Amino acid sequence: MSIRLESGPVVVDSAFSTGASPPPTAPETAPVIFDIKGLNVYYRDFHAVADTDLDIHQHEITALIGPSGCGKSTVLRCFNRMNDLIEGARVEGRVLYHGIDLYGPAVDAVEVRRRIGMVFQKPNPFPKSVYDNIVFGPKVAGWKGNPDDLVEESLRRAALWDEVKDKLDSSALDLSGGQQQRLCIARAIATSPDVVLMDEPCSALDPIATYRIETLMRELKERYTIVVVTHNMQQAARVSDRTAFFSVDVGDNGQRTGRLVEYDSTDQVFTAPSLKETEDYITGRFG
Amino acid sequence: MTTDQRPDFHAALNSLEETTMDMADRVEKMVGIAVKSLVTSDVALVAEVIASDDVVDEMYMDIRSRWMQIMARQQPMGRDLRMMAAILELNNTLERMGDQAVNIARIARATAGLPREETILAKLVEMGDLVKPMIRTSIDCFVRRDADECLLLPAMDVPVDVLNRGMWKHVVECGHDQPLLEWATRMVLVSRALERVGDQAVDIGEQVAFLMTGDHQEFTRHTG
């Protein structure tokens, strides 16, 4: 079973629906689109992430937080099989997306990445025009439509249209850092994704550009589901609906393995978390 | 092994809590002295309460100022955020408790030359003896983070409320004597002030519960 290619809502064979419930700590509201059970990730012999269960809810912003090396970016990359591109990476456990096993043999990883887009820490526009940055991906995927409309719609959704509409033929590399990052978001949503993954999307941006991205994230969640990795706890508190806190266990051999400690509504995590380990982290008592 | 990654912030927060507890100690003493001034008609004690309230007011402003700085600069979260919320609430509550002590002391001064009715005075002394342990209990619970003992406060407040509600009956009995009635009428205000102090001690207890559990709680539910 593969995910269908049409744009618009993802259509999934109901036989692949899991019927799984969210974890007891998470408020049950929006439908679950990612159902992760028993996730373990290895880079060759290195056990990067252990025994993680996590549900991602539709049209919500889920923040993954935790100290360096806790595996939050590794988990994020499991959502669209980006770990496949890392030599020696091995994923065990179940990653169900709308009930479909993303790591199943019939699933096309390229199509997964079209459905589940990604925005990286450092803005990485193609060394092409603003216009071409938007239309490149859909054209490669065989999309046939009006590219002018696609460019305008994507840039409008990324809150960038008014700033670049008169310089669509200019190099994307001439834009400011914040504009480049919004262009990357526009590029990600041009392929009509269902989910947008963001890995530290604001860490290379100034405060004003950061607030614009955060505002954009809240607008985008009406259409997309967003999962964001951030080192900035205030950012997680500002933008997300749910927060997953990861920590690191250090083994006898010094190996550092990440694990999910607590997952709950963002309000709960940042005001009265259930676990001392979470509270110690968010209040700066750790290490 | 847990290491504090934000020692300056936590030092500032601890210092803010210490100042708040110093303020609480001062307010507790003020309530005791105010009731004593009522019994002894000692104007020196009245002056002591009023002077102490000036210090409380300065502490109140200092706490507010430092509170704002910490919120703006440190963005506390988790139990630190709850502590900040509780301190803001305690600061307001303690400042009002100090004001109630001043109200009592000023009434003591204003009624010093008037005849007194011993039953009413004894009831007020009894109320004072009931609310002072309530203040101490609430402060101790805050310092110890004791979310269990603070649950005793509503029961401790019941006899205070009963004495306050019964005060009118004793005042009416003074109606035959104009100067005595003038004194007794003022004592209703003292009774009301002590009743409020009892309620405010319960409020502090509620903040202890919030601090420890994260749940906003109302210990006393009013019906009707």
Q: What percent of chain A has pLDDT over 90?
A: 80
> Which H/E stretch holds residue A228?
strand A225-229
**CB-nearest partner of B4 from A233, A282, A285:** A285
Q: What percent of chain B has pLDDT over 90?
A: 90
| For range B112-126, the mean pLDDT | 96
| For range B31-35, the mean pLDDT | 98
Are residues A285 and B75, on separate chains, in Cβ contact within 8 Å? no
Per-residue pLDDT band for A11 (boundaries 50, 70, 90) equals very low
In chain A, domain spans: 29-124+193-282
Distance from CA of A238 to the nearest CA of B (A): 12
Is A68 exposed, middle or buried, given 0-12, 13-18 or 19+ CB atoms closer than 10 A? exposed
Beta-carbon contacts of residue A115 (< 8 Å; ≥ 6 apart): A3, A10, A80, A97, A193, A194, A195
pLDDT score at A4 = 39
Are residues A286 and B6, on separate chains, in Cβ contact within 8 Å? no
| For range B155-183, the mean pLDDT | 94
| For range A112-130, the mean pLDDT | 95
Per-residue pLDDT band for A28 (boundaries 50, 70, 90) equals low
Which amino acid, one-letter code, is at A56?
Answer: I
For residues B49 and B30, the answer to whether their CB atoms sit within 8 Å is yes
Q: What are the chain A neighbours of B80 within 8 Å (beta carbons)? A: 283
Question: What is the end-to-end Cα distance of chain B in Å, rounded?
Answer: 53
pLDDT score at B5 = 87
What is the C-alpha separation between B56 and B33, in angstroms, rounded?
A: 15
Residue in B77, B216, B217 to test binding to A, most A beta-carbons within 10 Å: B77
pLDDT score at A37 = 97
A13, pLDDT greater than 70: no
Which amino acid, one-letter code, is at A176?
Answer: S
pLDDT score at B2 = 78
Are residues A286 and B2, on separate chains, in Cβ contact within 8 Å? yes
Q: What are the chain B neighbours of A270 within 8 Å (beta carbons)? A: 77-78, 81
Asked if A285 reaches chain B (Cβ–Cβ under 8 Å), the answer is yes
Are residues A285 and B82, on separate chains, in Cβ contact within 8 Å? no
Topology annotation, domain B8-213: Methane Monooxygenase Hydroxylase; Chain G, domain 1 (1.20.58)
Q: Dihedral angle at the C-alpha atoms of A85, A87, A93, A96, nearest 10 degrees?
A: 10
What is the C-alpha separation between A234 and B155, in angstroms, rounded?
A: 41
A17, pLDDT greater than 50: no
What is the C-alpha separation between A287 and B5, in angstroms, rounded?
A: 8
**Is B64 in a helix, a strand, or coil?**
helix
Output the six-digit token pair for A213: 């991205």
For chain B, list residues whose CB is within 8 angstroms of any CB belonging to chain A: 2-6, 9-10, 75-82, 213-215
Q: What percent of chain B has pLDDT over 70?
A: 98
Q: What are the chain A neighbours of B82 within 8 Å (beta carbons)? A: 271-272
In chain A, which residue's Cα lies nearest the Cα of B2? A286
B222, pLDDT greater than 90: no
What is the C-alpha separation between A47 and A93, in angstroms, rounded?
A: 13
Q: Dihedral angle at the C-alpha atoms of B13, B15, B21, B24, nearest 10 degrees?
A: -100
In chain B, domain spans: 8-213
In chain B, which residue's Cα lies nearest the Cα of A234? B75
Q: What are the chain B neighbours of A234 within 8 Å (beta carbons)? A: 75
Are residues A234 and B75, on separate chains, in Cβ contact within 8 Å? yes
**CB-nearest partner of B82 from A272, A286, A287:** A272
Q: What are the chain B neighbours of A285 within 8 Å (beta carbons)? A: 2-6, 10
**CB-nearest partner of B9 from A270, A271, A284:** A284
Chain position carrying tokens 């979260």: B77
Q: In which order are the strands placed within the sheet that holds A46-57?
A: A100-101, A89-97, A32-43, A46-57, A256-265, A242-250, A61-65, A225-229, A195-199, A116-119
pLDDT: is A10 or A249 the higher one? A249
Are residues B10 and A284, on separate chains, in Cβ contact within 8 Å? yes
Asked if A144 reaches chain B (Cβ–Cβ under 8 Å), the answer is no
Average pLDDT, chain B: 95
- Give A259-277 pLDDT, tens digit per residue: 999 999 999 999 999 999 9
Q: What ipTM goes with this model?
A: 0.79
B201, pLDDT greater than 70: yes
In chain B, which residue's Cα lies nearest the Cα of A275? B78
- Sequence-ordered alpha helix ranges (H) in A12-157: 72-78, 109-115, 130-140, 147-157
**Is A223 in a helix, a strand, or coil?**
coil
Beta bridge partners of A64: A229, A244
**Is A99 in a helix, a strand, or coil?**
coil
Distance from CA of A268 to the nearest CA of B (A): 9
Backbone angles phi, psi at A63, to 5 degrees: -100, 135
Are residues A282 and B6, on separate chains, in Cβ contact within 8 Å? no
CA–CA–CA angle A181, A186, A191 (5° rounding): 135
Q: Given the DSSP bridges, would you call strands A89-97 and A100-101 parallel, antiparallel or unpaired?
A: antiparallel
Are residues B77 and A282, on separate chains, in Cβ contact within 8 Å? yes
Q: What are the chain B neighbours of A66 within 8 Å (beta carbons)? A: none
Are residues B3 and A285, on separate chains, in Cβ contact within 8 Å? yes
Are residues A284 and B79, on separate chains, in Cβ contact within 8 Å? no
Are residues B77 and A237, on separate chains, in Cβ contact within 8 Å? yes
Output the six-digit token pair for B138: 């609430």
Backbone angles phi, psi at A53, to 5 degrees: -110, 130
Per-residue pLDDT band for B217 (boundaries 50, 70, 90) equals confident
pLDDT score at A21 = 38
- Evaluated on CA atoms A132, A136, A138, A139, the torsion sign reads positive
Are residues A287 and B10, on separate chains, in Cβ contact within 8 Å? no
pLDDT score at B223 = 54
- Sequence-ordered alpha helix ranges (H) in chain A: 72-78, 109-115, 130-140, 147-157, 161-164, 177-189, 207-220, 233-239, 266-271, 276-282
A29-124+193-282: which CATH number, 3.20.20.70, 3.40.30.10, 3.10.20.30, 3.40.50.300? Answer: 3.40.50.300
